[in-house]
Structure 1
């Protein structure tokens, strides 16, 4: 059921490029101008965050676009303070559009006397006044259960499937989808099923955190175009090592499709010097200038799917329909007109 005449978008500073792209896409879908609500989100000299909304939002259906990526704490506080400002301004409903959910890797206790920070963050968001969350590729599905409010978790897999079917057109019979660890098998299997390809796994064993001791390939990758699929690439050490192991096991090419490009520290340099031919990421996290300049990194936009999801939530219609590649195909129409027919 619709709450107001139109959904209203407001953005923090974490990824304003994506927020503006979502507004543009919604303008196309709605056939009318959709702009970001005029507001300022800035810092005092002591780095305290201050928010001021310059438009009337009383009774409005508000969508705050703010991934909680690096710097995670600053972006999280922006989200919470913006939520408080909207709640105190009598907004009818506040939805947190969080393309990348920070702290998601701290979703369980791995040893004694450690926190479950993802649960703490969920509690803070709900207490601040967020009534619904829209995100993409949560690191662990159980994080949805940390919230006592509706959580819509979109998937990059249908978007990646469209991209793979275009870029590797005519060579799909040579493609094998690879999970970089046993924990990501479900994600890799789902993508392999979408594009009708085989599945392989890289089994890694660590002697201590941050250090990969041994990697073993499970499955046939000889003379195959291997596509590594994962949700987060951070320092890219494990990813580049997995690509090397696949080549050593006879793979003809290695490409990677990873949703969230954290890409911290030496990640970009490692990728540029690796045996991988391409790394495809989404823009859930604002790409740095180094990422944009990298010759082996390509960015697939998520604004079309987020714009449609926001419209569906506002309309009270299905969000899960966006899990289907055939539903997304017209939304992404024209995206690949400038790309080569296949990777060379």
Structure 2
């Protein structure tokens, strides 16, 4: 049954520009002004987080927009404390909108005596009082099963497919999609199917965590414009090495489409100096000034898809409809006009 009140958005400090963009987009859809709930999320001198909500939220359908990106622990605690404040203020339903789900790479025990931190974070979010989670491109799909509440996992691949079709118009016959490892084949295949392109794999061997011993291209990339597809780019070492390997294997160009631009440490400098012609990321994590000024990094907005997803959840409509190209085309029409 559809909700009788308007959806209300509140944001922490992790990605305020994205939260404001979602609010603007929802205002356009609703034909009425929809602003972020007035609140303060700040720190005491000892760095304890304090939240105060100024607007009345009793009986409201609340959406807390907060990626748990760097600094992951601070942003996670902000999310938990905001949820607790809303729960104690008698909000009817609380949906955590987490564009980037931190700790998702720790989704299993890789060796003895190690944690499953993604499960711990899921427990914390649920215990704080969240009724539903909305996120984008979880690193591991099984994380949805760590929750006992509904989890809507949106996908960047349909949006990336629209972007590729727009920017490689007339050249799609030369495009080849690349998975940077065997584990990412399903994600890469999804985009390859959408744009009807062939698929290849860069197989990497690691001697220890963070260090790649060697790479091998599985498939013929000679004369192709290669597009590497992945969900996370952290230090960009593996990504830049994969681009070099593809060029050595005969690729004419290498581009990358990565959902979450973590881009920590030397990542931006590596991308700028790499053989990659472009790196396309989303704004699921607020880009730094270095990222925004890098000439070969381009940012695709996620506000359109998140705004529509929030409206669908609020109105009791399907979220999985946003996986379909026909649904996304009108949402992203201003960015990718159809000729």
- TM-score using structure 2 length: 0.99
- SS at the partner of 1:254? strand
Separation (CA, whole Å) in 1 of partners of 2:336 and 2:13: 29
- SS at the partner of 2:96? strand
- SS at the partner of 2:228? strand
- SS at the partner of 2:5? coil
Residue 285 (structure 1) aligns with: 285
Residue 30 (structure 1) aligns with: 30
* Structure 2 residue 85 is matched with structure 1 residue 81: no
Alignment of 1:212-251 (within 5 A): 212-251=212-251
Q: Which runs of 4+ in 1 moved over 3 A?
A: none
Residue 174 (structure 1) aligns with: 174
Residue 147 (structure 1) aligns with: 147
Deviations 1:65-99 (A, max 9, x none): 00000000000000000000000000000000000
Cα contact 1:240–1:270 (8 A) shared by 2: yes
- SS at the partner of 2:41? strand
Gaps spanning 5+ residues in structure 1: where?
none
Separation (CA, whole Å) in 1 of partners of 2:157 and 2:172: 16
Separation (CA, whole Å) in 2 of partners of 1:124 and 1:334: 39
Cα contact 2:162–2:336 (8 A) shared by 1: no
Separation (CA, whole Å) in 2 of partners of 1:128 and 1:4: 25
Gaps spanning 5+ residues in structure 2: where?
none
Cα contact 2:66–2:79 (8 A) shared by 1: yes
Shift of 1:334: 1.3
Separation (CA, whole Å) in 2 of partners of 1:335 and 1:28: 16
- SS at the partner of 2:178? strand
Residue 110 (structure 2) aligns with: 110
Q: Over the residues paired in the alignment, what is the CA RMSD in angstroms?
A: 0.9
Shift of 1:336: 4.0
Separation (CA, whole Å) in 2 of partners of 1:116 and 1:297: 33
- Alpha carbons of 1:117 and 1:205: their partners in 2 closer, same or farther (altered >3 Å)? same
* Structure 2 residue 155 is matched with structure 1 residue 130: no
Residue 193 (structure 2) aligns with: 193
Cα contact 1:4–1:61 (8 A) shared by 2: no
The number of residue pairs the alignment matches comes to 338
- SS at the partner of 1:333? coil
Deviations 1:291-333 (A, max 9, x none): 0000000000000000000000000000000001221010011
- SS at the partner of 2:192? helix
Cα contact 1:4–1:60 (8 A) shared by 2: no
Residue 269 (structure 1) aligns with: 269
Cα contact 1:181–1:204 (8 A) shared by 2: yes
